[in-house]
C-alpha cells in the first residue's frame, strides 16, 4: 500500500519493513520488539513508533475503491486472508506502543 503513497517514498526501505513488522506483531498480539529484532534491524521500537502509527492510519483510512484486485487476492486463505485483518484502534495502538 505504501508504494502508491508519495509520503512514504522518503522512508528507508529497512525502516518501513521494520515498522510493518512491528505493526503486524502488535496487531496479532505476537509480542513486542525484542532485543534480537532491534539488533538485526538496527532500529529501536521508539525509532519505529511514528511510522507504525502512520501505517496504521493508512490501513484504517484506505480508500476502498482502489486496489480491488490486490485486496481480493490477499483476502484468499492461501495468503492467510491478511487483507481482512482489522486495523488497530489508534488509541489502543498508542497505549500498546508506549507500554512496551
- Residue by residue, DSSP assigns the chain as -GGG-GGGTTS-HHHHHHHHHHHHHHHTT-----HHHHHHH---HHHHHHHHHHHHHHHHT--TTS-HHHHHHTTSGGGTTGGGPPPPPHHHHHHHHHH-
Residue with more model confidence, 15 or 97: 15
Residue 6 lies in a domain: no
pLDDT tens figures, 47-79: 999 999 999 998 888 766 666 787 788 889 998
Residue 5 lies in a domain: no
The count of domains in the chain is 1
> What is the pTM for the complete model shown?
0.83
Residue 3 lies in a domain: no
Cell of 56: 496504521
**Domain residue limits at 53:** 11-99
What is the rounded average pLDDT of the residues 80-87?
84
Confidence label for 80 from pLDDT (cuts 50, 70 and 90): confident
Residue 15 lies in a domain: yes
Residue 62 lies in a domain: yes
CATH number at residue 56: 1.10.472.10
Amino acid at each position: 500500500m505504501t508504494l502508491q503513497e508519495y509520503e512514504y517514498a522518503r522512508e528507508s526501505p529497512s525502516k518501513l519493513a521494520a515498522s510493518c513488522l512491528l505493526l503486524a506483531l502488535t496487531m496479532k498480539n505476537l509480542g513486542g520488539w525484542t532485543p534480537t529484532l532491534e539488533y538485526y534491524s538496527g532500529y529501536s521500537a521508539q525509532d519505529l513508533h511514528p511510522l507504525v502509527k502512520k501505517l496504521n492510519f493508512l490501513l484504517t483510512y484506505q480508500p476502498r475503491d482502489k486496489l480491488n484486485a490486490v485486496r481480493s487476492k490477499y483476502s484468499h486463505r492461501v495468503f492467510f486472508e491478511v487483507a481482512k485483518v482489522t486495523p488497530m484502534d489508534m488509541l489502543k495502538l498508542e497505549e500498546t506502543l508506549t507500554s512496551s
